[in-house]
Structure 1
Amino acid sequence: MPPEPYAELLMSKFLADTTPLKTPAFRRLWLAGAVSQLGAQFTVVAVPVQLYQLTHSSAYVGLAGLFALVPMLVLAPLGGVLADLYDRRRILVVTSSGLAVSSVLLWVQAAFPLARGSAQIWIILALFALQQAFFSVNNPARGAIIPLLLPSGQLAAANALHFTVIGLTTFVGPMLGGVLLGVPGVGLARLYLIDAVTMCATISAAIRLPASRPTQRNSTANGLPAAQTEARPGSAGTGANAGTRAKDALKALLKGFAHLRADQILLATFVADLIAMVFGMPRALFPEIAHTVLGDPVTGGSHLGLLYAAVPVGAFLGGLFSGWVPRVGRQGLAVVLAVAAWGVGVVGFGGALAAWGASGFWAALTCMAFAGLADTFSSVFRSTMLQSAAPDELRGRMQGVFFLVVAGGPRLADLLHGYGATILGPTSTTVLGGGLVVVGIAIAAALLPRFTAYRADV
């Protein structure tokens, strides 16, 4: 057989592996996720901009992180339990519908405000919390479905494709949202409405997925009777049965945490991401930086859109050139290095703005794009380690904890950075946070040597 042409060989080694897209169910879910993710970015921009517009305070923008974090703390682990006990497809359909409805309600409060001043602020925060509650149950089910659609050898490639979509949509979405904010007749309200409409793509794809009801083997492993875990939809049973189910769900949840505590490698994947996101995610400061450092109007502008897009640009490039990722064996060490690189990028971002102000804007964006590239590699390796190491009967619960860390960490960062900026200012807060990431991941690597030494079968 003739040797593979050099160009094709180079592409196969470095560009994203698209083999998982040959599976129709995964392809539909992936494409629908791209559409819905793009729409979701409009709300990501609209909520902080609306809060900053109403309050002129990063502290209130950070408060949105707390309102998002509380339902995540409760519902993300519960969502993982539900994904292990019930039909994951049904969970995905119901929660995606809830996400669409919550976006419609955000559109209503912006387009037809029934309250003004502080009352409107609390309405926005409450609706944002509702949206994040649905998201907290939705994400573990989605993550737990993927290993049922693909062979284990394709999981790393599937995760790389997933994070490529996240990178692309979170790059295009904020930039487009920033532009639309300045278009007459569009504004904040329409951004929320677009989010609701695009979520319909995921609802449609989820309906077409094969059923994924827990198996007898998984039920037994959980210590739950199969009749309970495979209860027919709508068969709530008596109050006594509901109470039994609640106790069984609590047992299942505790079993998941016990497994996590005993597995240093899985635990370390979550610790690494918490260090990176809690200390190093400065997005709550973007409206203030755009307004006070870069000169954007308080309602948002082109600088704000580019700030939100910088990390996703790097993430997209990381996903695009991820062909080498499935061949990495020392995945634990790769996570440590990627998290440290993220911290360095964040320090560079804040340092460029602190030293040069508006004239350092493009240098700052380059640093954040580098950070986004590093974070993509960290995310791909951590996701692959989690999906490969966690047993199927616990996979939903592990995905629940994964989502709680991945999505909850930045929400906690919003709160800390928002209030930190009131004391140190936005750029100094950013530099301090990036430095803490580098120090924190070095300490974690020293305390968790099995994680750093982890080697995957490649």
Structure 2
Amino acid sequence: MTGPLRVPAFRRMWIAGFVSEIGDWVLMVALPVYVYQLTGSVGSTATTFVVALLPSLALSPLAGVLADRWDRRKLMLCVSLAQAVALLPLLTGDLVVVNAVMAVQAALAALFEPAKNALLPELVGRDQVTAANGLVGLNSNLARLIGASLGGLVLGWSGLPGVLWVDVASFLAAAVLLARPFGVVDRSGGAPVLRAWLDGLREIRGPLRGMVAVVGLMALSQGMFVVLFVVFVTERLGGAEAEVGLLRGIQAVGGLAGGLVVGLLARRTSAWSLLGWSVVVFSVIAAVGWNGPHVTTAFAFYLVTFALCGAPGVIAGAGMMSVLQLHTSDASRGRVMATFGSLYDGFQALGMVLAGALAVPLGLTVLLDLQAGLYLVAGVITFLIGSSARSTASSGRVRLRGRGPSRRASSSATADREEGAAPTRPG
């Protein structure tokens, strides 16, 4: 066992995330199919997911402050238990209850994610951050492969109650894995919530300001995908629940490959390059898939296409997370991650609204091509930001080169921080 997995605390968090995400993907695939079957409306499906995103926007200040102020493991543990309990009302099957439960789940997830993302660098150390994020991406895609494939099947076999109990079990299993302490520094006290959140916003400077545009575009595109994917599979490809789940889960096959090579790539290139190239490649593959029905509706073609999307997808996720984590201090990382999480959810909600509103007047193919194009624009912006960050860091090295060994060492460390470059030391 090498790299971040040698760290017991990270390994335990990694497994807990895997178990929890299997249940998440079962629910994530099954619920849109359930809502679409119940209403027959793209707009209603979009509304369900927009409602689920709103709590994240409202709770972002509190979530980030709690992640920086409290023991992050304990926060994740409490949230996992609460998520298990909050799923139970889904047994009614009512659309209003579905919306309410999704809103509560989103609120709890808004507390969980900043804590998890802020805790990762604390567990593995700065030199292993990109490799650890790659393993998290590998984990997520393996969970997607299992959970998404199960989602459609479980819904078809046992309905919404079966989906519910799978997810409840996953949250409880994650809580068990998080019950034992990680042995990191505890946190307590601090400034009032609003003031602490505003202090965290001041950390979003330099290259992170450009990342606001990158994250926003990626989220807008993902929001459109969430709404339109089910319609694409059912109407253009003639699929049903099983096909929706299989195509959503097959991306994990490529994602597994991407997760395995991220650590290797991280030792040879910067997080900026990982993010930029992977997003561009993802955009091209997506465009091919969306326009495929003009040529063929053979299911095997889409299995291959969606599988190929998985590799650049997981590499992009690792690159994006590493850029954000490496440009923030541990003391404020929770607030910065929560702010970007809120930004992502807000633009994802906007993408869902646009997809639901424009599906009829513009047509499905036009919207899906737009979705792929947004990723391409995000990739171009990433290259520009990364190039600027490297130029700034290089200028800093030149200015400090003649000021003595201690200054030179300081300059090198500063350059690593500014570039968000991956370490050269093997994991």
Normalising by the smaller structure, the TM-score range is 0.7 to 0.9
Counterpart position of 2:269: 329
Distance 2:386 2:19 in 1: 39
- Give 1:423 shift: 2.3
1:424 and 1:409 map into 2 onto residues whose CA distance is 20
Shift of 1:273: 2.9
Query: Which of 180, 187, 196 is the matching residue for 2:159?
Result: 187
Which residue among 104, 109, 112 is the counterpart of 2:92? 109
* Structure 1 pair 308–413 and aligned structure 2 pair: CA distance change class (3 A): farther
Matched, 1:255 2:199: yes
Partner of 2:232: 289
Aligned partners of 2:132 and 2:386: how far apart in 1?
28
Q: Would you say 1:63 and 2:47 are equivalent positions?
A: yes
* Deviation (angstroms), 1:86: 1.6
Q: What is the aligned-residue identity percentage?
A: 29
Question: Is residue 249 of structure 2 the alignment partner of residue 309 of structure 1?
Answer: yes
CA separation of 1:381/1:441 partners in 2, compared to 1, >3 Å: closer, same or farther?
A: closer
Q: Within the alignment, does 1:128 sit opposite 2:102 as a pair?
A: yes
Instruction: State which drifts further: 187-196 or 267-276.
Output: 267-276
Give the deviation of 1:447 after TM superposition: 6.8
Report the equivalent of 1:26. 10
- Residue ranges of structure 2 left out of the alignment (5+ in a row): 392-418
Taking the aligned partners of 2:256 and 2:226, their CA distance within structure 1 comes to 18
Structure 1 position 409, deviation (Å) = 4.5
Displacement after TM superposition at 1:330 (Å): 3.1
Deviations 1:217-267 (A, max 9, x none): xxxxxxxxx7x34xxxxxxxxxxxxxxx6xx2111111111220xx23223
Structure 2 CA distance for aligned equivalents of residues 103 and 395 of structure 1 = 29
Matched, 1:164 2:148: no
- Amino acid corresponding to residue 420 of structure 1 in structure 2: L
1:266 aligns with 2:208: yes
Contact 1:171 1:313 in 2 (8 A): yes
Q: How does 1:54-453 map to 2 (within 5 A)?
A: 54-106=38-90, 108-110=91-93, 120-183=94-157, 186-210=158-182, 212=184, 214=186, 228-229=189-190, 248-260=192-204, 263-280=205-222, 282-296=225-239, 300-353=240-293, 355-356=294-295, 358-359=297-298, 361-406=299-344, 409-443=347-381, 445-446=383-384, 449-451=387-389
* Separation of aligned partners in 1, 2:119 and 2:270: 26
Q: Is 160-169 or 150-159 further displaced after alignment?
A: 150-159
Distance 1:269 1:151, change over 3 A: same
SS in 2 for 1:329: coil
Distance 1:143 1:278 in 2: 21
Query: For the residues of structure 1 that align with 2:129 and 2:386, how far apart are their CA atoms?
Result: 25
In structure 1, the residue corresponding to 2:359 is in which secondary structure?
helix
Distance 1:371 1:102, change over 3 A: same
CA RMSD, Structure 1 to Structure 2 (Å): 2.4
Structure 2 distance, partners of 1:99, 1:436, is: 33
How much has 1:307 moved relative to structure 2? 2.5
Give unpaired runs (5+ residues) of structure 1: 1-16, 111-119, 216-225, 230-244
Q: TM-score, normalised by structure 2?
A: 0.85
Question: C-alpha displacement at 1:395, in angstroms?
Answer: 1.0
Deviation at 1:149, TM superposition (A): 1.9
The residue identity in structure 1 corresponding to 2:60 is A
Change in 2 beyond 3 A, CA 1:214/1:31: closer
Match of 1:235 in 2: none
| 1:404 positional shift | 2.9
- For residue 365 of structure 2, what is the amino acid of its counterpart? T
- C-alpha change, 1:418 and 1:310, in structure 2 (3 Å) is farther
Change (3 A) 1:307 1:411: farther
Going from structure 1 to structure 2, the CA distance change for 1:404 and 1:104 (only over 3 Å counts) comes to same
2: CA distance between counterparts of 1:436 and 1:156?
A: 25
Structure-2 separation of matches of 1:79 and 1:152: 23
Secondary structure of the structure 2 residue equivalent to 1:322? helix
SS at match of 2:181: coil
Distance 2:344 2:307 in 1: 19
Q: Secondary structure of 2:331's match?
A: helix
Q: Distance between the aligned counterparts of 2:266 and 2:389, measured in 1?
A: 18
How far apart are residue 351 of structure 1 and its match? 0.8
Q: Could you tell me whether the CA contact under 8 Å between 1:445 and 1:452 is conserved in 2?
A: no
Counterpart amino acid of residue 425 in structure 1: G
